[in-house]
Amino acid sequence: MLFLIRIQLLKVRLHLTNILSARYLKSEIFSLFIIVVIQVSEQLYLLTNECQLTEENTKLRFLACSLIQDIASAYFSDCIVKPFGSSVNTFGKLGCDLDMFLELNKVGKNSVKRKTSPFNIIYQMKKAPSERIAAQRILNVLGEFLDNLGPGCEGVQKILNARCPLVRFSHQPSGLQCDLTVNNRIALKSSELLYVYGSLDPRVRTLAFSIRYWAWNHGLTSSIPGAWITNFSLTMMVLFFLQRRQPPIVPTLDQLKKLADAKDKEVIEGFDCTFVSNLNKITPTSNTETLDVLLGDFFEFYGNFAFNKNSLNIRKGKEQNKPEASALHIQNPFEENLNISKNVNAAQLQRFVNLARDSAWILQQMEKRPLDNSKPWGLVALLQASEPGRVSKGFKRLNVLNSDRVKDLLNSLKM
């Protein structure tokens, strides 16, 4: 009964979230508004404010995690299911996937004993040859349960042979696409790191959000696994670019580590994940460059970057020689032996470079807004598809949502 009540509460929250974000769905009004804005910087701030996750949508994601935790607790009584990635690092946009991980490290620790009967039932998993195999077994069991008995869980896929095994499914009550992993604590720490960087300066989050939106709009990123550049890689590229400014806008990870206290010390699976958590200890940057300057220089920087020989490293804040033959090499901030962009092939990287060069050229041609507001300008021009006369894919997606989805939501609320 309690579970059904939580499902109904989730549906109510979903309706409220869609109503609160109705301005996002009114794409025609949004596109007209953004065209007449005088400065590119203002356009970027407007885009971020209109399309970022709302507080209500973020709460919805935590509630969805708690529902999955209720299911998992049937096997692991003290487990915790937490969101990570774009849902919590402040860089996520409305409609982004929900990454969640099942934490089992605290199972059996600080547990509260509940007397339900004279008998105790203890579930113990058989010893596995490795943590990876253990994770695969756990996800296999949970995947089967979600597929056959999970309330509102549809399209369940068990992707157990990936580098990080996961279960992917659609959670119908919340309308979210979900990826569930096990004990992915380094990924959670990466989310915390991005949260810190995004809190240092308002330009950081706005520039990263705008670049990610630009990439999504042009089909450079995808929720489907493949040779695409990921949002995490794009965010690392933005941070690296901001570290290279003179003076730097954000510090390197090594600098954040030096500012850390003893309570910030954390080693996960042998990797040092230490960085300062007290933002007051970080000296604000003296860099005063505007967002329009940073956006143009970002495209120019990577449009001419020597990807064939150099690697990006936000821990050091400087280029390094590529240790492997991957088309794009971005060092994982914590697992330094890993390349977070190893999946990207040469063709996809070249698409990114070409679009970056085109975008840099477009921005250079329009120093001032034209008097004719009917012509695409600034950010809108950047979001236009490469082929002449074609409407931006991102705005097409928003236009589809504009009418039918709002009508459906209003009709459902009348029930």
Residue 63, domain extent: 52-108+126-183
Note the pLDDT tens digit of each residue in 49-60.
888 999 999 999
Residue 362: which residues within 8 A CB-CB, separation 6 or more?
381, 382
Q: Is there a single domain that holds both residue 359 and residue 247?
A: yes
Whether residues 158 and 230 share a domain: the answer is no
- Does 414 reside within a domain? no
Kindly state whether residues 257 and 299 are assigned to the same domain. Answer: yes
The total domain count for the chain is: 2
- Per DSSP (E only), the strands in 191-316 are 267-268, 271-272, 310-311
pLDDT confidence tier of residue 8, bands split at 50, 70 and 90: low
Check whether residue 218 and residue 343 sit in a common domain.
yes
Extended beta strands in 173-229, E state: 176-182
Within a domain: residue 408?
no
Asked whether residue 307 is domain-assigned, the answer is yes
* In-domain check, residue 395: no
Report the sign of the C-alpha dihedral through residues 277, 340, 239, 27, in that order: negative
Residue 108's pLDDT band (boundaries 50, 70, 90)? very low
Same domain, 158 and 295: no
Nearest CA to 350 among 186, 229, 204?
229
Q: Are strands 80-84 and 98-103 parallel, antiparallel or unpaired?
A: antiparallel
Residues 261 and 329 in one domain: yes
Asked if residue 392 is part of any domain, the answer here is no
**What would the mean pLDDT of 148-153 be, rounded to a whole number?**
91
Give yes or no: residues 133 and 202 share one domain: no
Question: Are 176 and 204 part of one and the same domain?
Answer: no
179, 192: one domain:
no
| Terminal alpha carbon distance of the chain | 21
Q: Which pair of tokens denotes residue 357?
A: 């060069």
Tell me phi and psi for residue 339, to 5 degrees.
-105, 110
Q: Are residues 89 and 191 in the same domain?
A: no
| 16, part of any domain | no
The whole-number average pLDDT for the span 276-286 is 95
Same domain, 198 and 343: yes
Domain CATH number, residue 78: 3.30.460.10
| 157 or 403: which leads in pLDDT | 157
217 shares a domain with 92? no
Evaluate whether 196 touches 279 at the Cβ level (below 8 Å): yes
Mean pLDDT of 376-398: 56
Is residue 394 situated within a structural domain?
no
Per DSSP, the three-state class of 57 is helix
Beta strands 320-321 and 310-311 are: antiparallel
The residue type at 121: I
More confident residue, 316 or 370: 316
- The verdict on residue 230 lying in a domain is yes
CATH number for position 231: 1.10.1410.10
Structure-block tokens of residue 260: 């850390």
